[in-house]
Amino acid sequence: MTALLKTDLGDVPLLGRGKVRDLYAVDDALLLVATDRISAFDHVLATGIAGKGKILTQISLFWFELLANLVPNHLISADVNQFPPMLLPYAEQLEGRSMLVKRAKMFPIECVARGYLAGSGWKEYQAEGKLCGIKLAAGFQDGSRLPEALFTPATKSQDGAHDENISFSAAEDLLGVADAAELKRLTLAIYRRAAEHAESCGLILADTKFEFGTTQEGIMLADEVLTPDSSRFWEGAQWKPGGPQPSFDKQFVRDYLESIHWNKQAPAPALPEDVAERTQAKYLAAFRRLTGRDLSL
Task: Go through the domains of the chain in sequence order and give each one's CATH number.
Answer: 1-103 (3.30.200.20), 105-238 (3.30.470.20)
Measured distance CA(159)–CA(162) in Å, rounded: 9
Residues of the chain by 3-state class (helix, strand, coil), percent to 5: 35, 25, 40
Helix (H, G, I), strand (E, B) or coil at 39: strand
Give the burial string for 144-156 (b: 16+ CB within 10 Å, else e). Answer: bebeebbbbbbbe
Cβ atoms 173, 81 nearer than 8 A: no
Beta bridge partners of 150: 114
- Rg of the chain over all Cα atoms, to the nearest angstrom: 19
Q: What's the pLDDT at 35?
A: 98
CA neighbours closer than 13 Å in the CB half-sphere of residue 87: 27
Helix (H, G, I), strand (E, B) or coil at 123: helix
Measured distance CA(101)–CA(271) in Å, rounded: 33
Q: What's the pLDDT at 162?
A: 65
**Could you give phi then psi for residue 94, rounded to 5 degrees?**
-90, -25
CA distances to 39, 156, 207 from 160, in Å? 10, 9, 21
Q: What's the pLDDT at 160?
A: 53
CA distances to 10, 15, 20, 46, 91 from 83, in Å? 16, 18, 21, 31, 9
Cβ atoms 238, 246 nearer than 8 A: yes
Please report, in tens digits, the pLDDT of each residue of the chain (297 residues total).
799 999 999 999 999 999 999 999 999 999 999 999 999 988 999 999 999 999 999 999 999 999 999 999 999 999 999 999 999 999 999 999 999 999 999 999 999 999 999 988 999 999 999 998 999 999 999 999 999 999 999 998 665 556 789 999 999 999 999 999 999 999 999 999 999 999 999 999 999 999 999 999 999 999 999 999 999 999 999 999 999 899 998 887 988 999 999 999 999 999 999 999 999 999 999 999 999 999 988
Single-letter residue type at 164:
E
Alpha helices by DSSP H, listed for the chain, are 52-66, 91-94, 119-128, 168-175, 177-200, 251-259, 273-291
